[in-house]
Amino acid sequence: MSHAHLRYLNPFPRNLGEVLSRYQRVLVPELNMGQLRSILRSTYLVDAVGLNKVQGKPFAVSEIVAKIKELLG
């Protein structure tokens, strides 16, 4: 398990494709409809799974933990 925080999106960090390819599962939590996940999937051909929330509230830790358990289970 690992965590990456993208500080800038254009251009993506040079080693992002290499980093993403090291993992079997990639979870992209977003407070929108999943635009970053779509870009990552099309640019780097990784099977990224999205966790989207469009309620104007931040994620609770329990929401992210539940999604991780769902992906691993």
Q: What is the pLDDT of residues 39-72, one digit of tens each?
A: 999 999 999 999 999 999 999 999 999 999 999 9
Whether residue 1 has pLDDT greater than 90: no
- Distance of alpha carbon 52 from alpha carbon 30, whole angstroms: 5
Among left, alpha and beta (phi > 0; psi -120 to 50; other), residue 50 is beta
* pTM, full prediction: 0.87
pLDDT tens for 9-25 read 999 999 999 999 999 99
* H or E, element range at 49: strand 48-52
